[in-house]
Structure 1
């Protein structure tokens, strides 16, 4: 199963590689060069296809839990000052995604979307300390009666050139449902109240919609 954001890119890639290989077989005499181009094309297409995979995830709905919004590795658990929405200190959990990870973003909690905003910006590497404030990003806040408002921020990385965000203010969303997509390497930060019990540790690998990262 593939994410809808990938269909156009996969189709364009397939057609382009087909044209390149037809051209190589028509214009190049050396067999090994033709084979190398074909092999490189197959590998490249497989990488593109796997990037847009969208595995089915069955989230165990629980308002006491905050689940990982994306697949990846936990790279930060720290207190920071969140100045865009809360304007106070929050506990930040950051998950880094490599190009090999599933890049679907899922709602970490269910509830009402209170805030959703896109910010254009730079494309610093996703682990750069300033990427959370300077890179292309979207900020979404979902609130329910148990967790209160939970903010998560999609952050583009050095390879990401487009963030897709489906969250719209006022909509009710289901925990673990599709919230967006980040194309080609990135990070998602989750901001929780100070003192929230964290259930993951640094460098732990998590699965979006499955792994519980905090419990309120």
Structure 2
């Protein structure tokens, strides 16, 4: 493999939402270096971390309507019944909830867990508690989507974290999403909660690491076969 191929395979694209932050960190590095030379290298390290935080690697997503794909990179922090947020209009009955916690080193691009039409988007202001806490689902700032999937409505909730101060959602009501398609981003630590229809069987365990757009986190079939996939 050539040096050019090695660099191309090692470098991960930075999402466009991250470039203003990378530029700001780089400017800060120059300013720090002007004040004191050793601080320049600290600034360079922080700039590199900022670019790393906003990375947007391609993912290979299984194409099967019976599968639910992880919407986020990170650790599975909750698996079990919970009532969805009222603003989603999914009723008061508990649904299977699967939560993915993203720390500051995770990829923070969020991807659609299922194929379907976005029928509801609801934002709610709130606190900025540690997103790894269970009560963050009800008390933190959040943005929720309802995707009308082939198996029924799926609630997808972006939850702000302790240092997260901006939830971005690029999808709009009426959009048709494919599984694995990018729909949003949360800056600097957060979580995503999924509220699944009846019949979805979790395929992940607490503490497991999930990869957005690739990891199967739930299945509607008792015996899953290998599904085709696409890269995005």
1:197 maps to 2:209: no
Q: How does 1:127-142 map to 2 (within 5 A)?
A: 127-142=132-147
TM-score when scaled to structure 2?
A: 0.85
Q: How does 1:147-162 map to 2 (within 5 A)?
A: 147-162=151-166
Select 1:5's aligned residue among 17, 26, 30: 17
Partners in 2 of 1:110 and 1:172 — Cα distance? 8
TM-score when scaled to structure 1?
A: 0.91
2:202 is paired with a residue whose SS is coil
What is the root-mean-square deviation of aligned Cα atoms in Å?
1.2
Contact 1:89–1:194 (CA under 8 A) maintained in structure 2: no
Q: Which runs of 5+ in 2 are unaligned?
A: 1-12, 221-232
Partners in 2 of 1:141 and 1:75 — Cα distance? 21
Partners in 1 of 2:52 and 2:148 — Cα distance? 33
For residues 83 and 105 of structure 1, do their structure 2 counterparts lie closer, same or farther at Cα, with a shift above 3 Å needed?
A: closer
Q: Which runs of 5+ in 1 are unaligned?
A: 25-33
- 127-136 vs 202-211, greater mean Cα deviation: 127-136
For residues 83 and 20 of structure 1, do their structure 2 counterparts lie closer, same or farther at Cα, with a shift above 3 Å needed?
A: closer
For residues 83 and 187 of structure 1, do their structure 2 counterparts lie closer, same or farther at Cα, with a shift above 3 Å needed?
A: closer
Q: What residue number does 1:49 align with?
A: 51
Q: Where does structure 1 differ by over 4 angstroms across 4 or more consecutive aligned residues?
A: none
Partners in 1 of 2:139 and 2:94 — Cα distance? 19
Alignment length (residue pairs)? 205
1:86 maps to 2:90: yes
Deviations 1:77-128 (A, max 9, x none): 0111224121221010011011000000000011100111111211011022
Partners in 2 of 1:82 and 1:183 — Cα distance? 23
Q: CA deviation at 1:210?
A: 0.1
Q: How does 1:56-95 map to 2 (within 5 A)?
A: 56-84=58-86, 85-87=89-91, 88-95=93-100
Q: What residue number does 2:109 align with?
A: 104
